Structure 1
Amino acid sequence: MGPSGSFGHVNITQSKRNDFLHKQHKVLTTDPRIYPLHEVGSPYHDLRISKLRINDSAIYKCETSTDPPLAAEIRLIVIETYSVIFGSPEMRVRKGETLYLLCLVLEVVDVPEYMIWYRDGHVIDYSREDVTVTVDDLTCSSELQVRNVSEKDVGLYTCAPSNAPPADIKVSLITLGHKPYLASLLLLLQ
């Protein structure tokens, strides 16, 4: 709430739970993530919430004890950041081909500090000559390329950005004689 003279006491409430968070210079919440900021003598009152959660979405109201009372309401909508690896949950590649995986972080406010790729829970060896990883801060994406895929490259791949839950995709090899396009065509004809 901004300046415009003496406000007397200021109360801050959250409408969803109708909880007083701050009343007459006293913090009334036991949640350590929520804390009001006010310097004595300053007309400014701020409410800080760290490590936002979806259930923090609510209308927050700041009200003075002046006559008539002044009030300001702020609607906070918390959007959850998430990551995805494009494609279906399973990917099949032929031995000797190149595996391309693209991971995007969506609904993001800040660029991730890092995006780490794992295979079966172990960090990908970026020093392998047949592995390339690129990161694009503009699109909040990371691409993993594994050239000349073999049996050692199959498994569960995970993209783990610093600011979102990880995304997974299972990669397996297409066995010799398996003709996925022909099988799909035959299913369509039935």
Structure 2
Amino acid sequence: MKRVTFPVFSGGEAAHAVKRFTGLYTGPYFDPTTTTNITTQLGTHAYLPCKVKQLGNKSVSWIRRRDAHILTVDRYTFIADDRFQAFLVEATDTWTLQVKYVQARDAGQYECQVSTEPKMSHFITLNVVVPKIEISGKSDVYVRTESTVSLRCVITQSLEEPAYIFWYHDGERVLKYDRSAIDIRTERLGTDTTESTLIIFHAKPEHSGNYTCSPSNLDSASVLLHVLNGEHPAAMQRGKNSASPIPGWSHLSMGLGLATCTPPRFAAAVAITVAALVHLLSTTT
């Protein structure tokens, strides 16, 4: 009797052996290397792959799990939302679901289903990252004339660097024709952060107004710039003049009727004198 021997594989040889024997499948099967998680950024395009080997004459459908809505069957789209489309990359036997201009509500699980009996399914979870944008500091910025102003627009949780970041002043785009007056600097920091800085040299009152940082495919952020001519910024923020109020002065000035009819310094001197006299009289009685 002829003896039959079987080869024994180890290490990398085993992997090659699996590839050679994949033809043993009698029908469609999912490539086990197909991903189960896709992360994309809000506003970009997402691509969900589904590798199906030996598909034959079977169909491939994509189904949105949250509402069981059939999105596509083969190359045909079955949803009114034209952001969804399926296409086949024949070289890799991959049916890919494309989701254009991803929205936050697109996040969730999607099912790649093959029309065998019973049905075969492969699930992929789509994660949507929403970038954050802000202009550092307070929403109102106060500076003196001839100051150098730096407005920093910081975008975080951004998987893709914005194609552009435009700055607008009261609705008009800021252009850096004269870099001795205005400059815009944009820098990528790490893997998910982009910073754009608008620098105004020798600020003037006409530079006051609303400044908006507007990246491509993202929300915008705004700040109000106030360029003051000869007044202290902190005083303007309080809506008062630059002189600090004297404790108790408001009550005394109201009682004496001095608040509106005398200069502030003279009125303050009178108030202090009156307070001293009151204290002296109270100690002698």
Relative to the length of structure 2, the TM-score reads 0.58
Structure 1 residue aligned with 2:52 = 3
- Structure 1: which amino acid aligns with 2:188? D
3-state SS of the aligned residue for 1:165? coil
User: Does the 8 Å CA contact 1:57/1:75 hold for their aligned counterparts?
Assistant: yes
User: Does the 8 Å CA contact 1:158/1:169 hold for their aligned counterparts?
Assistant: yes
Picking from 101, 108, 115, the partner of 1:58 is 108
Q: Structure 2 vs 1, CA of residues 94 and 12 (structure 1 numbering), >3 Å: closer, same or farther?
A: same
Structure 2 residue aligned with 1:169 = 223
Q: Distance in 1 between matches of 2:220 and 2:114?
A: 44
Cα drift, residue 172 of structure 1? 0.6
- Structure 1: which amino acid aligns with 2:187? D
Structure 2 residue aligned with 1:135 = 186
- Deviations along 1:49-88, one digit per CA (max 9) or x if unpaired, are 1111111112100111224432111111222234221111
Q: Distance in 1 between matches of 2:70 and 2:213?
A: 40
- Unpaired runs of at least 5, structure 2: 1-49, 239-243, 245-285
- Deviations along 1:106-141, one digit per CA (max 9) or x if unpaired, are 222221221111111112241232212111134421
Structure 1 residue aligned with 2:141 = 91
Q: Distance in 2 between matches of 1:89 and 1:41?
A: 54
Q: Distance in 1 between matches of 2:170 and 2:176?
A: 15
Name which of structure 1's ranges 1-10 and 68-77 shifts more when overlaid on structure 2.
Answer: 1-10
Q: Structure 2 vs 1, CA of residues 88 and 72 (structure 1 numbering), >3 Å: closer, same or farther?
A: same
Cα drift, residue 32 of structure 1? 0.9
Q: Distance in 2 between matches of 1:137 and 1:102?
A: 13
User: Does the 8 Å CA contact 1:9/1:25 hold for their aligned counterparts?
Assistant: no
Structure 2 residue aligned with 1:13 = 63
Question: Are residue 122 (structure 1) and residue 176 (structure 2) matched?
Answer: no
Picking from 72, 76, 98, the partner of 1:22 is 72
Relative to the length of structure 1, the TM-score reads 0.84
Q: Distance in 1 between matches of 2:174 and 2:91?
A: 55
- Structure 1: which amino acid aligns with 2:55? S
Question: Are residue 105 (structure 1) and residue 158 (structure 2) matched?
Answer: no
Cα drift, residue 179 of structure 1? 6.3
Q: Structure 2 vs 1, CA of residues 48 and 176 (structure 1 numbering), >3 Å: closer, same or farther?
A: same
- Which has more helix, going by share of residues? 2
Cα drift, residue 17 of structure 1? 2.0
- Which has more strand, going by share of residues? 1
How many positions carry a matched residue from both structures?
185
- Root mean square deviation, CA, Å: 2.6
Structure 2 residue aligned with 1:32 = 82
> Identity of aligned pairs, percent?
22
- Structure 2: which amino acid aligns with 1:168? S
Q: Distance in 2 between matches of 1:24 and 1:160?
A: 39
- Unpaired runs of at least 5, structure 1: none
Q: Distance in 2 between matches of 1:116 and 1:9?
A: 46
Q: Distance in 2 between matches of 1:40 and 1:173?
A: 62
